[in-house]
Structure 1
């Protein structure tokens, strides 16, 4: 059966969307999201982002503060082996999450992303909770990135007040987001290119360094994995590394949000998601193993250091005596941090607006100008995220960064677990309506087993992080401050879900009533593109093109 042969027919389904005392009463199972927002309704956005920009933005999304600077925390508390295990396991969890999002979003690459998909496949209350968590996640990333930027510029002697640096960085981030989306796409494309260039250069540098190929530097190999340094702080250290890995890997799920502004969205999503296995393996897993070989976990500069010498990558370069390279990498890190801040504002604003477009929050937040800029979402995300940045004026950068990176990491676990549930329900809906998963434009070949394994890991991590919040790795006594600075995202998510569910009395979506009608126009576009390709076959790909298409 073709994926066009959908059994769902919104015209034949009773629609029940009533308002009672200012509340929207959903009778889920008899209402389709396409009734609220038609599948080809751009919701005021413009599809102007080309495939090359989205591909590079997705590649660069994870090469941020968490990788460059935050890995120092993981190495210091967990040791090289603990850090390597945490990041390798997390790479699988996130890769499978990417595949889940890719399958669902390629099928229906429409505005609202996985928030809309949760409303359609699971429960509107869960869609609200997930959307608020995703918005909260990206708003918290703004102060985390600005805090990291402050430590970056402090690497160079200067007398500029902290508040002034914060204001300068926020103005730069705001300016890029104020321009129309195609300008944002151009800026992020080149910034992501610089990120990739820097991370590839570090891979080669650390391979040479650990092999003893740099003059004056002995062969290191697994020296720092010995004498009890491989696993520091046992289980607590491992949980600390997992939390930092959650922060480091965050970002790639925004492909579902960008899909609403993408040209040729199905083609873009397929070509972006497929090579992620190689990117995850090289940019994250390989780098983490190498940095654990090049830097001692007992190096006091990893935690509490002033400036980006807290970055294990900069420490590795500094240990070789090539100080000019440390300055060069520091400049690259600054570009990385600013780039992540720009993306954080972009995604946060689109998420808040999507919640409003889907009638999950007040329509006031859905306002966009003629150029498709979500004005209210931009202003609110910038004001809230930017305001939190000024906590650096009264607290150490390390303390502020730890707060926000922990919140972002735990929120990531919750979101990824919800996305696994969403994908499992998506497959159930396809089966119930007689739509073969083999007809999907993009398919996760590990489904549904990969989702169940990933969900099991997420549940284990949530329990482990609760233990860490109650019994910190530093040995400090349990306190409300320690608990809420690490684990507040979990009770907030539960409160959002239960509060929305009881107030609006939402219902669980039955598999037979899931709305797949939004895929029909895209199926027709695919058919037209196939016919055009048969009439005018594209030239054969060269070997160089095949290699670059896998890597980039």
Structure 2
């Protein structure tokens, strides 16, 4: 094109906020006759370090005044090079992503919730609940992985729902997902305090709890999350490896205890499986109800299997040897088979590995401790009254209780150290996920002048520091619920004889409240999982319905059934769309049925809030966003092939803008 030609290009909405402050505010181009065109925000998109535009002209015509030439483009490919303050470094390799997912998944769910399930539903419930949720998370991750291998973008889980289901629903998913991990960070700190209380020296000194456990340890985790991502990734590798070793040691010792290797122990064998369906009659009126409640509790242990979607925005982008891509279209086509190489293994196999580890560990625990043992944790919301045969309420994990009963010197202390390390490392990883989630959903907001005040506030969180770490989002995610662990310092008052009972009641109430908040977080993650399954179903339907059009228009990376270039589609998940439908139904079943089973033996306010308050708030947030934005009460229209192609190209543009920045 000559210098007199003007490209009329309409920027996609997502690009405009990133270009604010980059595009010249007033700039004109002289036509051949010397008359300037009116300044346009969408023209001349080539300032230094700004977007590059690839445009294939299809026709040339004169403008309405006959003074210039307008070039109409049939194909526009806009690659936005983001400002440094809106991007993160992409240094995470496959091993980093794998260990981040391990750290987020392998927390206290197995060690604490496994014992709770055993007390509630018996040995069989432990095995079945871990297997059921393991299969469910595998099916969910099949859906997420297929989309993630194509579009590893910031705020991926939110964007998928926005593009294929509903925009406001996608925003609600992003906020909910941030809540899951921001809240989990604080509740894990509170859980670590319960583990520290295993040692009397700490239990009797609330000053140590308040200063060290609730203040200094979270502050240390914040500092760790503030370091460069290339260093943080290796720290995750180190802590994840240690946690895997710890779990392996625990499994070996449990086997040895069961075989009678420890002093004063006798082989237990299958003694405690003589009544595999024993259950807590105070919590449920039959074993089936107890099993449903156990399935609900087991969800907590699997929270984190999907975090690879949040950390993928910092994954190192693989390139073929010797490749030097110079155009966006070449970049789109290249690396088709390699695009998800860094995180595909983690996304696919973490649910399977977690299910195997949880099931084996839970099974071994059922062989080493009886269901009605006083050391097992009970459901705190049922009653503060103690069993007549129990002297004190349980405040330890099942594995620690088994170690204490084995009479092996200091074994319980060693196990408890394992649990403290596991809990705190998981808390640190959850803070990482919360910060990247908040950054992902705010980095594309326009915080310029003229925007509403709350949009400017949210956009402020979408910037990174000089290390390209989203420090603002990380600090806010840490302090949002930092107050939760401090509640455990509340104790009963009084000098009368009943002061001890008052203290127990007060402490039990606080522990119950913290547990409700913890349960709300895993209830929320079920909503996110379900929405991702729905997004995949609609994505799958769109590429199936418009497959001929997409192939004819040569839209890359969405031609699932193409035989010409099988590597163009990075990952094909198994038995779709049946897997997606079953996963969606499973999420709905656990959210509405299994979570509500706690109310079948009598209404209890606290489990009701724990199970359904998150659902109520999520739906309320979705409705509020619809009203505030004046949006239509309908899903994204995927019936027109050209609209679907625009959605895919829009997602490709976001991906390229991130990977080339």
TM-score class, shorter: 0.7 to 0.9
Q: Which moved more, 1:317-326 or 1:121-130?
A: 317-326
Matches within 5 A, 1:128-139: 128-139=171-182
Q: Which residue of 2 aligns with 1:424?
A: 537
Q: Which moved more, 1:457-466 or 1:116-125?
A: 457-466
> Are 1:44 and 2:118 counterparts?
no
Q: Are 1:49 and 1:181, in contact at CA under 8 Å, matched by a contact in 2?
A: yes
Deviation, 1:176, is 0.7
Q: Which residue of 2 aligns with 1:251?
A: 304
Q: CA 1:103 to 1:194, structure 2 compared with 1: closer, same or farther past 3 Å?
A: same
Deviation, 1:88, is 0.8
Q: Which residue of 1 aligns with 2:31?
A: none
Deviation, 1:13, is 8.5
Q: CA 1:516 to 1:225, structure 2 compared with 1: closer, same or farther past 3 Å?
A: same
Q: Which residue of 2 aligns with 1:292?
A: 366
| Distance in 2 (alpha carbons) for counterparts of 1:57 and 1:307 | 34
Deviation, 1:227, is 3.8
Q: Which residue of 2 aligns with 1:355?
A: 441
- Structure 1, residues 72-121: CA drift from partner, whole Å, max 9, x if none? 22221122212221111000011112222211111111222111111112
Q: In the alignment, which of 406, 411, 421 is matched to residue 320 of structure 1?
A: 406
Q: Select the structure that is richer in helix.
A: 1
| Distance in 2 (alpha carbons) for counterparts of 1:36 and 1:376 | 29
Q: Which moved more, 1:290-299 or 1:215-224?
A: 215-224
| Distance in 1 (alpha carbons) for counterparts of 2:77 and 2:635 | 18
> Are 1:371 and 2:467 counterparts?
yes
Q: Are 2:88 and 2:314, in contact at CA under 8 Å, matched by a contact in 1?
A: yes
3-state SS of 1:366 partner: coil
> Are 1:467 and 2:561 counterparts?
no
Q: Which residue of 2 aligns with 1:509?
A: 636
> Are 1:478 and 2:478 counterparts?
no
> Are 1:449 and 2:497 counterparts?
no
Q: Which residue of 1 aligns with 2:232?
A: 184
Matches within 5 A, 1:80-229: 80-158=123-201, 159-161=204-206, 162-164=209-211, 165-212=213-260, 214=262, 216-227=264-275, 229=277
3-state SS of 2:306 partner: helix
Q: Normalised by the size of structure 1, how large is the TM-score? A: 0.82
Rg (Cα) greater in structure: 2
- Structure 1, residues 230-288: CA drift from partner, whole Å, max 9, x if none? 44432442233222211110012110111100113621112323433541243222222
Q: CA 1:523 to 1:160, structure 2 compared with 1: closer, same or farther past 3 Å?
A: closer
3-state SS of 1:288 partner: helix
| Distance in 1 (alpha carbons) for counterparts of 2:588 and 2:599 | 17
Q: Normalised by the size of structure 2, how large is the TM-score? A: 0.69
Q: In the alignment, which of 616, 624, 628 is matched to residue 499 of structure 1?
A: 624
| Distance in 2 (alpha carbons) for counterparts of 1:37 and 1:70 | 47
Q: CA 1:131 to 1:321, structure 2 compared with 1: closer, same or farther past 3 Å?
A: same
Q: Which residue of 2 aligns with 1:71?
A: 114
| Distance in 1 (alpha carbons) for counterparts of 2:246 and 2:310 | 27
Q: Are 1:413 and 1:462, in contact at CA under 8 Å, matched by a contact in 2?
A: yes
| Distance in 2 (alpha carbons) for counterparts of 1:185 and 1:15 | 34
Deviation, 1:221, is 3.3
- Structure 1 vs Structure 2 CA RMSD: 3.2
| Distance in 2 (alpha carbons) for counterparts of 1:452 and 1:466 | 20
Deviation, 1:37, is 9.6
Deviation, 1:399, is 2.1
| Distance in 2 (alpha carbons) for counterparts of 1:467 and 1:372 | 43
| Distance in 1 (alpha carbons) for counterparts of 2:368 and 2:618 | 39
> Are 1:329 and 2:397 counterparts?
no
Q: CA 1:205 to 1:401, structure 2 compared with 1: closer, same or farther past 3 Å?
A: farther
How many residues get paired?
Answer: 497
| Distance in 2 (alpha carbons) for counterparts of 1:485 and 1:382 | 22
| Distance in 1 (alpha carbons) for counterparts of 2:393 and 2:232 | 28
3-state SS of 2:269 partner: coil
| Distance in 2 (alpha carbons) for counterparts of 1:64 and 1:220 | 28
| Distance in 2 (alpha carbons) for counterparts of 1:18 and 1:214 | 65
Q: Are 1:210 and 1:219, in contact at CA under 8 Å, matched by a contact in 2?
A: yes
| Distance in 1 (alpha carbons) for counterparts of 2:594 and 2:582 | 18
Deviation, 1:207, is 3.0
3-state SS of 1:117 partner: helix
Q: CA 1:106 to 1:228, structure 2 compared with 1: closer, same or farther past 3 Å?
A: closer
Q: Which moved more, 1:225-234 or 1:419-428?
A: 225-234
Q: CA 1:222 to 1:413, structure 2 compared with 1: closer, same or farther past 3 Å?
A: farther
3-state SS of 1:267 partner: coil
| Distance in 2 (alpha carbons) for counterparts of 1:168 and 1:339 | 15
| Distance in 1 (alpha carbons) for counterparts of 2:77 and 2:126 | 47
Q: CA 1:237 to 1:405, structure 2 compared with 1: closer, same or farther past 3 Å?
A: farther
| Distance in 2 (alpha carbons) for counterparts of 1:223 and 1:109 | 50
| Distance in 1 (alpha carbons) for counterparts of 2:514 and 2:545 | 46
Q: Which residue of 1 aligns with 2:44?
A: none
Q: Which residue of 1 aligns with 2:560?
A: 437
Deviation, 1:510, is 2.6
| Distance in 2 (alpha carbons) for counterparts of 1:293 and 1:186 | 37
Q: Which residue of 2 aligns with 1:275?
A: 349
- Structure 1, residues 45-95: CA drift from partner, whole Å, max 9, x if none? 110222211112222321101112222222211222122211110000111
| Distance in 1 (alpha carbons) for counterparts of 2:533 and 2:82 | 26
Q: CA 1:483 to 1:431, structure 2 compared with 1: closer, same or farther past 3 Å?
A: same
Unaligned runs of 5+ in 1: 1-10, 20-33, 525-552
Q: Are 1:80 and 1:231, in contact at CA under 8 Å, matched by a contact in 2?
A: no
Q: Are 2:302 and 2:354, in contact at CA under 8 Å, matched by a contact in 1?
A: no
